[in-house]
Amino acid sequence: MSEIDILSFGETMAMLVAEQCGDLATVEQFHKRIAGADSNVAIGLSRLGFNVAWLSRVGSDSLGRFVVETLIKEGLDCSHVDVDSRHPTGFQFKSRNDDGSDPQVEYFRRGSAASHLSPQSIKPELLNARHLHATGIPPALSATAREMSFELMTRMRHAGHSVSFDPNLRPSLWASEREMIREVNRLAALAHWVLPGLSEGRLLTGFEDPADIAAFYLDQGAEAVAIKLGPQGAYYRTQLDQGFVAGVPVANVVDTVGAGDGFAVGMISALLEHQSFPEAVQRANWIGSRAVQSRGDMEGLPTRTELSAEFEAAFASKSNRRTAAPTLATRTNVGAGLLANRPA
């Protein structure tokens, strides 16, 4: 096994979270945290015991130092985070909503240090990682960051390492919706495992049904697709199998931000542990449900001890929540170490 289990890259921003509910313009007190879908996933995987390298850039400023120090405390290898003396660390404001609705978020990231990521940011040793996780956010930051995304995914896949991709669409960062759809789908074609939300999949493919969305990406070269369906759970499809895994009921939704990142943590961790795809989706649903029960983007992501105790306890007395799929008989290896179930 390589020294680096997982490589992740992108922009981590400082985040100022409102202490009171209401319009951000009227809130007077905030507390400081970090935010970024890519680093949320990296943190979640680190908490589960994987060696995770983080590739990024921050400004030579107090927010940049705060970001890096926080990521190091979470166990990430930040030796490949460059400090940019000419461009600032991005940041955002986030509202507090106690009714479970999506919070208001305002970004201040244009021209940030991370937007100046480029192929030159890639160090050769990073390509020895066992797995690469990518999203559609870095390529939306700038042309050079997009070039880096394509190069990383291409080189890792050609080297035989597994690659996962979450579209994580950010329309406001793209010049047009047409460009976003074209470029994100080009990136998805470089991944083994594609993890869109249902609304994202519909926009990106033009299909309505999850099975058709999954087929679109399988035809492009993906080996497996998991489509997030919110509280209902997730639909998955491989070249050999398909099915639906029911969601985990949540009595009190506190903060919806980060649920998709938790889903990615569950999928990647389980697949790298050679679990089957439906088993991975079950873990992903559980971690996603846990994420929405905590205030903050990554605060609800479990440690390995919490996963072992809580997840196993939650499902020990229940049968697998997989339905509407073929009867399973044997397992077979698919592509980059992926275990999929072969229909009987």
* Cα 153 versus chain centre, distance: 15
Distance CA 199, CA 322 (A): 22
Please tell me which residue in 38, 255, 261, 297 is annotated as part of the active site.
Answer: 261
User: Rounded to an integer, what distance in angstroms lies between the CA atom of residue 342 and that of residue 277?
Assistant: 11
Q: Can you give the pLDDT at residue 312?
A: 78
Which tokens sit at 143? Answer: 């042309």
pLDDT of 256 reads: 67
In the chain, DSSP assigns E strands to 6-9, 13-21, 30-35, 52-59, 77-84, 91-96, 105-108, 131-135, 162-166, 193-194, 224-228, 233-238, 242-246, 322-323, 328-334, 338-343
Look at residue 116 in the predicted model and tell me its pLDDT: 97
Predicted pLDDT at 268: 98
Domain 6-343 matching CATH 3.40.1190.20: the answer reads yes
Task: Give the strand pairing for 91-96 and 77-84.
Answer: unpaired
Half-sphere exposure of 323 (CA within 13 A, CB side): 6
Domain boundaries, the chain: 6-343
Q: Starting at the earlier edge strand, list the strands of the sheet with 13-21.
A: 30-35, 13-21, 91-96, 105-108
Strands 30-35 and 13-21: antiparallel
The predicted pLDDT at position 19 comes to 82
Specify the pLDDT at position 254: 65
- Mean pLDDT by runs of 10 across the 344 residues of the chain is 85 90 86 92 97 98 97 97 97 80 83 96 96 98 98 97 97 96 98 97 98 97 96 94 90 74 96 95 91 73 90 65 35 34 30
Contact assessment for residue 103 and residue 97, using Cβ atoms and an 8 Å cutoff: yes
Separation CA 288–CA 261 (nearest Å):
7
Is residue 212 annotated as a catalytic residue, yes or no?
no
pLDDT at 131: 98
